[in-house]
Chains A and B, each alone.
Chain A
Amino acid sequence: KQEVTQIPAALSVPEGENLVLNCSFTDSAIYNLQWFRQDPGKGLTSLLLIQSSQREQTSGRLNASLDKSSGRSTLYIAASQPGDSATYLCAVRQGGSEKLVFGKGTKLTVNP
């Protein structure tokens, strides 16, 4: 059974700092990995999707990497801003399945 773990569970940083969020998964037979942002009381906003054949994806100040063989992904946020404060969720789509398996998320607070 696929399990997704996100470390740390919570992170507080000063504005302007570069930071890395970690995601690990137990079964490397995945189709893709998706990073989401969730604001309090809101739904999920898709940030980046990495296919299993890709190593990384970039969007603005965000960069996500994937090492499928070791079961790891990282989300790098450059020059963090208070507006980046949210919970970041990592999810993998298992091979042979349509469903996403999520981690519990990392709650990020960027202090002005």
Chain B
Amino acid sequence: GAGVSQTPSNKVTEKGKYVELRCDPISGHTALYWYRQSLGQGPEFLIYFQGTGAADDSGLPNDRFFAVRPEGSVSTLKIQRTERGDSAVYLCASSLTRQSYNEQFFGPGTRLTVL
């Protein structure tokens, strides 16, 4: 595709449930990032992949959050035992490589609502 795609666009779930959010980066981009944006705030970094490996997961808030990128392309962010405080827009971005000059291109986001 032409840009980063994310599915679903909206997800409503109940407290305590498990959710998966999917990101499909721009074809050929080796670097992939997840961010979380709460209302009225800028996005906050969660995790970064270079290829298949998570090179930096320092932004994951706790062990309920986990992300994978098994084939170095599509990534899935997994949230266990969801809490109301997890409600936010989850943004995915990709860049061509990890070089400093590469822009990060963002997808439209998944709006997660935990009831």
Contacts and interface: CB of A to CB of B under 8 A. Distances in A.
A91 B42 contact: yes
A46 B105 contact: yes
Interface residues of A, number: 26
Contact of B103 (A41, A43, A49, A102): A49
Q: Is the interface of A mostly helix, strand, loop or mixed?
A: strand
Contacts of B48: 98-99
B101 A100 contact: no
B101 A103 contact: no
A95 to B, nearest CB: 9
Interface stretch (A14-22, A30-38, A66-74, A78-86): A30-38
A49 B56 contact: no
A52 B100 CA distance: 9
Contacts of B31: 98
Given A43-B107, A44-B106, A98-B56, A49 B44 contact: no
In the A-B complex, the 3 residue pairs with the closest CB atoms: A102-B42, A99-B45, A31-B100
Interface of B: 4, 6, 31, 33, 35, 40-45, 48, 50, 55-56, 58-59, 91, 93, 98, 100-101, 103-109, 111
13 contacts: A31-B100, A42-B108, A43-B106, A44-B106, A49-B103, A91-B42, A91-B43, A98-B33, A98-B56, A99-B33, A100-B35, A100-B45, A102-B44
